[in-house]
Structure 1
Amino acid sequence: MDKRYFTIEEANAVVPDLLEIVPKLQILHAKLTKEFPDVRNAWEKARYGGGSMQGADYLAVALMTNRLINELESKGCVIKGIERGLVDFPAMRDGKEVYLCWKNPETEIKYWHDLDTGFAGRQPL
């Protein structure tokens, strides 16, 4: 499958979806990491046959998280950090591959960075 490259206009067209989905992902991620201590204990003891009363609830949150991530990735987005709300869009700039960079709650794409510099290398468009 060919890699999709976004124009700034195409990436900006996805921003309303990001503004809706990324905060949901952040809430779900926080739940997975903080609200299921019983699951963490069961996971740590799994080699001894441990289980968890929270397992079904944890699974429901994990599946919803996975569905939202798949929804964004199917659009061509590259999720770089759920906690920080970072999403990149592959693009071409001056003949080289770069990322258009979005951070929650920005309302439009205003930055880009090289593939190997990440968020720290963000530069204004």
Structure 2
Amino acid sequence: MEYLHQGCNQRILHFDIKPNNILLDYNFSPKISDFGLAKLCARDQSIVTLTAARGTMGYIAPELYSRNFGEISYKSDVYSFGMLVLEMVSGRRNSDPSVESQNEVYIPEWIYEQEALN
């Protein structure tokens, strides 16, 4: 992901970082796939504009669906990657409607609840 954001002549914003779009090669090196929602922008351009939200619910950075959270940038991909990492370390899906408490459906709320209990 760092290469997409910093290593190319033009910055590539993926907008759909999620488990289904991370493939492993023969050596188990991760490869990002599915650039259907990606957007190119100049490397010196830190803020981009979009007409509609892009991505998969549960992995979309808050600023993509509500301008109240800030401006859209390559950091939206970093948020999505963070959600993917949270899934891996917690051992549960990002959004799990089968849980008992409504506060535990979305993983950030579940983590907040766990922290509040301790």
Fold agreement, TM-score > 0.5: no
Q: TM-score range with shorter-chain normalisation? A: under 0.3
User: TM-score, length-normalised on structure 2?
Assistant: 0.27
Select the structure of larger CA radius of gyration.
1
Q: Which has the higher relative contact order, 1 or 2, with Cα contacts under 8 A spaced 6 or more apart?
A: 1
User: TM-score if structure 1 supplies the norm length?
Assistant: 0.26
